[in-house]
């Protein structure tokens, strides 16, 4: 129905999207009139979930719309064959239903609703795009409008308008359409968000059409038993063959989803019920509270200290948002809101709550509002020892309640994750080896993994392999094995680098398959793929990692590295790493920040900054030769050739067989210009 361009509105100084009507269709007065009517109706829509139409234009015989430019990721990219977490599924589905309800109330039917026409913006908001196949229904005053457009287009052009897997039975059959065709398409999208696959499939379009017309779709709870039963019933009703049997309206769909949101029936990120915690081990000793040996976190309702009952929603919203954000760290199961909120308004004992919920860590907090300022205090308690692991107070001006809530919950989540990691390292070191479960083995492996010696690498591998053997469904240690394989190749610690790298890629893919929502697994898949020379696949996995957990410093740093090394503007990388540092200023693996920044500053020509962070990296990890590499490149950029040569000498003490070929093997795929400039700089430092 047209082509879309990015453009700049020079009068208003904003970027817009231009949707250009095809010349061959513009030659038809009837279709041009329909285009104008449709555009006028769409421009009247004012809803945050629908892309805005600014104007209908014509220039030199070219007809086009100016529209809101939406930046983000399409829903089909975010899904990529993987289901969404329950809370995110309900959130997105509710927003999509709300947008459709608004359009339907204005007499507009989309008729090509599919994940690629749904965008999730950078701030996590959903927008419906491309009403290019929409039928503008006439108002009652104007009388009924022909609803035969799909049949007409099929006759005239030899095609059925729409996208087959998401089309309703009546649309495929060329029957008259109304808003209920969108309800069916919405049901297909809900099914895909819930299970990762579409309900109607086949090896050809004909088989898909046959499936839509005849097959009963699978029940979503068969694929994911933890999904709410109400959601399964809603999806089934949306997918009824006869429009009269479907949910009557998008507004009804929205209301049903809102009710599920108010009383969630699936835990965020929990792989086992709380009752499975605290089982006795084979040796008769009590295991740590948690899930498969992994420590769980319970976020209690934040206390409202304002003396204002109306502030209760802010306190509850903050705790709920924190539960959602923490659930993105897949290594730490998070107790669901409906379990932890039973303690709302009660005086509680952290140890007793932990025992009741099967959690090791308890998050408590309070909110105090005075005038236009709000003070939020939060603390993390290790219930097994009653020790405070972390505590912080935030003072903010309350100009935007939701912006403050987002900022603080993100900051708390990132800080908590960092300090949880520190606490778990200590737990693992104290626990005797014979009593370690998979989680403890994994924690004990991490310090060895990043000491960058052959001996530490071997110890890390042994611990990680034992963890995977104990818990084959635990994706994180498998992903770390993939990371370890890459380091073994980069440091020449393997006699079979090609085989080791192939195994690493396979392990990373297996980790992602085990838990597609594990952002760390996606990040390590990116790490393995870039080393294997697949820059496109690596960037896709890294972006997926950041999409899954925008607050994960590891994912932000990996994406930053991949961007600047594959020729993207290095300032993007610098901004990403600086964001990671702000989120986790006490990160146990802060060296990753300087590793990404050293190369980003060099690519940006900011050699002084690059040399400074590279020196910081060397101080943190003197056995890591890439720290010396970034320092050499930045020193050459500053014209400090003697210092660069001295850094090469120091690097050879760490890596005796250091060479340009080894560095290229370790860095993997690079943009041609980056590779050329690196080789030239290292040549000046007398490394070839």
Catalytic residue list = 112
Helix (H, G, I), strand (E, B) or coil at 212: helix
Q: For residues 234 and 247, is the Cβ–Cβ distance under 8 A?
A: yes
Question: Are 283 and 433 a contacting pair, CB within 8 Å?
Answer: no
CB neighbour class for 163 (10 Å; exposed up to 12, middle 13-18, buried from 19): middle
Q: What is the DSSP string of 84-136?
A: PPHHHHHHHHHHHHHHHHHHHHTTEE-S---GGGEEEETTS-EEE---TT-EE
DSSP 532-564: TT-HHHHHHHHHHHHHH-TT-HHHHHHHHHHHH
Phi, psi (deg, nearest 5) at residue 378: -140, 150
Residue 569: helix, strand or coil by DSSP?
A: coil
d(CA 309, CA 341): 17
The CA distance from 15 to 351, in Å, is: 54
If one counts every other C-beta atom within 10 angstroms of the C-beta of residue 93, the result is: 26
Q: Please report, for the chain, how many H helices and E strands are present, in that order.
A: 29, 14
- Alpha helix locations (H) across 106-249? 149-157, 169-172, 180-195, 205-214, 220-223, 229-238
Q: Measured in whole angstroms, how far is the alpha carbon of residue 435 from the centre of its chain?
A: 35
Rg (CA), the chain: 28
DSSP three-state, residue 391: strand
679 to 85, 262, 647, 682, 688: CA distances (angstroms):
45, 58, 16, 5, 8
Distance of alpha carbon 45 from alpha carbon 43, whole angstroms: 5
Q: Is-contact 16 68, C-beta < 8 A?
A: yes
């Amino acid at each position: 129905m047209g082509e879309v361009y990015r453009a700049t509105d020079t009068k208003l100084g904003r970027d817009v999207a231009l949707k250009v009507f095809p010349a061959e269709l513009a030659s038809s007065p009837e279709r041009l009139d329909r285009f104008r009517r449709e555009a006028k109706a769409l421009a009247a829509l004012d809803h945050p979930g629908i892309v805005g139409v600014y104007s209908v234009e014509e220039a030199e015989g070219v007809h086009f719309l100016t529209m809101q430019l939406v930046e983000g990721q399409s829903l089909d990219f975010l899904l990529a064959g993987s289901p969404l977490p329950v809370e995110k599924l309900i959130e997105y589905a509710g927003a999509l239903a709300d947008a459709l309800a608004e359009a339907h109330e204005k007499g507009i039917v989309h008729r090509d609703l599919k994940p690629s026409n749904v965008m999730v913006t950078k701030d996590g908001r959903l927008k419906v795009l491309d009403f290019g196949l929409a039928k503008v229904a006439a108002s009652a005053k104007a009388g009924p409008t022909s609803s035969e457009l799909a049949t007409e287009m099929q006759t005239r052009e030899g095609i059925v308008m729409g996208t087959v897997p998401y089309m309703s039975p009546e649309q495929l059959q060329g029957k008259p359409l109304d808003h209920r065709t969108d309800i069916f398409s919405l049901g297909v999208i809900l099914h895909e968000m819930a299970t990762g696959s579409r309900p109607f499939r086949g090896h050809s379009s004909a088989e898909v059409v046959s499936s839509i017309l005849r097959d009963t779709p699978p029940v979503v709870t068969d694929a994911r038993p933890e999904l709410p039963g109400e959601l399964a019933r809603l999806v089934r009703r949306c997918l009824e063959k006869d429009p009269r049997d479907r949910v009557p309206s998008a507004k009804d769909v929205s209301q049903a989803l809102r009710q599920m949101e108010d009383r969630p029936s699936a835990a965020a990120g929990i792989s086992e019920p709380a009752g499975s915690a605290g089982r006795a081990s084979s040796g008769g000793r009590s295991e740590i509270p948690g899930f498969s040996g992994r420590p769980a976190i319970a976020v209690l309702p934040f206390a409202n200290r304002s003396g204002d009952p109306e502030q209760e929603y802010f306190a509850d919203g903050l705790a709920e948002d924190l539960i959602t954000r923490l659930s993105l760290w897949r290594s730490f199961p998070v107790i669901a809101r409906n379990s932890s909120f039973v303690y709302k308004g009660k005086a509680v004992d952290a140890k007793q709550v932990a025992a009741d919920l099967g959690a090791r860590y308890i998050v408590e907090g309070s909110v105090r509002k005075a005038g236009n300022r709000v003070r939020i205090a939060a603390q993390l308690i290790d219930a097994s020892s009653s020790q405070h692991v972390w505590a912080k107070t935030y003072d903010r001006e309350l100009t935007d309640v939701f912006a403050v809530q987002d900022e603080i919950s993100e900051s708390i989540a990132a800080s908590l994750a960092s300090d949880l990691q520190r606490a778990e390292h200590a737990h693992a070191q104290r626990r005797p080896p014979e009593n370690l479960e998979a989680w403890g083995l994994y924690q004990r492996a991490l310090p060895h993994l990043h000491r960058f010696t052959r001996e530490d690498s071997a110890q890390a591998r042994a611990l990680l392999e034992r963890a995977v053997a104990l818990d084959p469904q635990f994706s994180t240690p498998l992903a770390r094995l993939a990371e370890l394989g890459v380091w073994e190749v980069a440091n020449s610690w393997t006699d079979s680098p090609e085989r080791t790298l192939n195994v690493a890629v396979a392990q990373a893919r297996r980790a992602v398959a085990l838990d597609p929502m594990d952002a760390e697994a996606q990040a390590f898949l990116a790490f393995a793929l870039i080393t294997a020379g697949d820059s496109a696949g690596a960037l896709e996995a890294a972006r997926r990692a950041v999409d899954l957990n925008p607050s994960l410093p590891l994912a932000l740093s990996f994406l930053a590295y991949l961007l600047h090394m594959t020729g993207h503007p290095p300032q993007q990388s610098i901004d990403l790493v600086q964001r990671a540092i702000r989120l986790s200023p006490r990160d146990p693996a802060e060296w990753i920040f300087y590793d990404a920044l050293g190369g980003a500053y060099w690519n940006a020509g900011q050699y002084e900054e690059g040399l400074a962070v590279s020196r910081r990296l060397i101080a943190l990890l003197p056995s890591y030769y890439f720290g010396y590499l970034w320092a050499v490149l930045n020193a050459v950029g500053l014209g400090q050739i003697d210092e660069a040569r001295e850094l090469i000498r120091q690097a050879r003490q760490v890596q005796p067989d250091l060479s340009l070929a080894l560095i290229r093997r370790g860095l993997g795929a690079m943009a041609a210009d980056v590779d050329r400039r690196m080789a030239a700089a290292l040549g000046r430092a007398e490394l070839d």
